[in-house]
Amino acid sequence: MVQVYIRVNETPEHYVVAMCDKPLLGKTLTNGAVKFKISKEFYGGDLVDMRTCLKHLKKATIANMVGEKTVKAAVKAGLVHEQTVLYIEGHPHAQWVRL
Protein backbone atom coordinates (compact mmCIF):
# COMPACT_ATOMS: atom_id res chain seq x y z
CA MET A 1 0.00 0.00 0.00
CA VAL A 2 1.33 3.42 -1.01
CA GLN A 3 1.72 5.85 1.85
CA VAL A 4 2.29 9.58 1.49
CA TYR A 5 2.60 12.50 3.84
CA ILE A 6 -0.29 14.92 4.14
CA ARG A 7 -0.86 18.05 6.17
CA VAL A 8 -4.28 19.66 6.27
CA ASN A 9 -4.84 23.19 7.54
CA GLU A 10 -8.42 24.31 7.80
CA THR A 11 -9.56 27.90 8.28
CA PRO A 12 -13.02 29.42 7.88
CA GLU A 13 -12.03 30.46 4.32
CA HIS A 14 -9.80 27.60 3.13
CA TYR A 15 -9.10 23.90 3.30
CA VAL A 16 -5.40 23.66 2.51
CA VAL A 17 -3.89 20.30 1.61
CA ALA A 18 -0.15 19.69 1.21
CA MET A 19 1.01 16.21 0.29
CA CYS A 20 4.24 14.57 -0.79
CA ASP A 21 5.73 11.17 -1.52
CA LYS A 22 7.27 9.63 1.58
CA PRO A 23 10.91 9.58 0.35
CA LEU A 24 10.86 13.29 -0.56
CA LEU A 25 10.01 14.68 2.88
CA GLY A 26 12.86 16.83 4.17
CA LYS A 27 14.65 17.10 0.80
CA THR A 28 15.45 20.26 -1.14
CA LEU A 29 15.12 20.12 -4.92
CA THR A 30 16.96 22.61 -7.14
CA ASN A 31 16.06 24.01 -10.55
CA GLY A 32 18.58 26.67 -11.50
CA ALA A 33 18.39 29.44 -8.91
CA VAL A 34 15.15 28.02 -7.47
CA LYS A 35 15.40 25.88 -4.36
CA PHE A 36 12.24 23.96 -3.51
CA LYS A 37 12.25 22.72 0.10
CA ILE A 38 9.89 19.86 0.92
CA SER A 39 9.81 20.76 4.58
CA LYS A 40 8.41 18.71 7.44
CA GLU A 41 6.67 21.86 8.68
CA PHE A 42 4.63 22.24 5.49
CA TYR A 43 4.23 18.69 4.16
CA GLY A 44 5.02 16.42 7.10
CA GLY A 45 1.71 15.89 8.81
CA ASP A 46 0.39 12.34 8.85
CA LEU A 47 1.61 9.34 6.89
CA VAL A 48 -1.56 7.98 5.25
CA ASP A 49 -2.75 5.86 2.33
CA MET A 50 -3.54 7.45 -1.02
CA ARG A 51 -7.31 7.01 -0.64
CA THR A 52 -7.27 9.19 2.48
CA CYS A 53 -5.18 11.81 0.66
CA LEU A 54 -7.59 11.93 -2.26
CA LYS A 55 -10.57 12.41 0.09
CA HIS A 56 -8.89 15.49 1.54
CA LEU A 57 -7.75 16.71 -1.87
CA LYS A 58 -11.32 16.63 -3.19
CA LYS A 59 -12.35 18.98 -0.34
CA ALA A 60 -9.36 21.30 -0.79
CA THR A 61 -9.60 24.93 -1.81
CA ILE A 62 -5.80 25.14 -1.98
CA ALA A 63 -3.62 22.15 -2.85
CA ASN A 64 0.11 21.63 -3.13
CA MET A 65 1.62 18.26 -3.99
CA VAL A 66 5.01 16.87 -4.94
CA GLY A 67 6.19 13.43 -5.94
CA GLU A 68 5.54 10.81 -8.60
CA LYS A 69 2.94 8.79 -6.67
CA THR A 70 1.15 11.80 -5.22
CA VAL A 71 0.82 13.81 -8.43
CA LYS A 72 0.03 10.74 -10.56
CA ALA A 73 -2.87 9.83 -8.25
CA ALA A 74 -4.23 13.40 -8.42
CA VAL A 75 -4.02 13.37 -12.23
CA LYS A 76 -5.71 9.96 -12.41
CA ALA A 77 -8.50 11.22 -10.11
CA GLY A 78 -9.08 14.20 -12.42
CA LEU A 79 -7.93 16.74 -9.82
CA VAL A 80 -4.81 17.89 -11.70
CA HIS A 81 -4.39 18.36 -15.44
CA GLU A 82 -1.25 16.65 -16.71
CA GLN A 83 -0.16 19.72 -18.70
CA THR A 84 0.00 21.85 -15.55
CA VAL A 85 2.55 19.64 -13.78
CA LEU A 86 6.02 21.15 -13.31
CA TYR A 87 9.15 19.07 -12.82
CA ILE A 88 11.92 19.97 -10.39
CA GLU A 89 14.95 17.67 -10.56
CA GLY A 90 12.67 15.19 -12.33
CA HIS A 91 10.06 15.19 -9.54
CA PRO A 92 6.52 16.30 -10.45
CA HIS A 93 4.97 19.23 -8.60
CA ALA A 94 1.42 20.55 -8.89
CA GLN A 95 -0.57 23.19 -7.06
CA TRP A 96 -3.91 24.91 -7.46
CA VAL A 97 -6.39 27.23 -5.86
CA ARG A 98 -10.15 26.74 -6.18
CA LEU A 99 -12.00 30.04 -6.30
Confidence of residue 1 (pLDDT cuts 50, 70, 90): confident
- pTM, entire model: 0.91
Determine the Cα–Cα distance for residues 2 and 39; give it in Å rounded to an integer: 20
Instruction: Enumerate the domain spans of the chain.
Output: 3-97
Phi, psi of 50 (to 5 degrees): -65, -35
Residue 3 to residues 21, 61, 75, 96, 98, Cα–Cα distance (Å): 7, 22, 17, 22, 25
The domain over range 3-97 is classified in CATH as 1.10.40.30: no
23-80: per-residue pLDDT in tens? 999 999 998 888 999 999 999 999 999 999 999 999 999 999 999 999 999 999 999 9
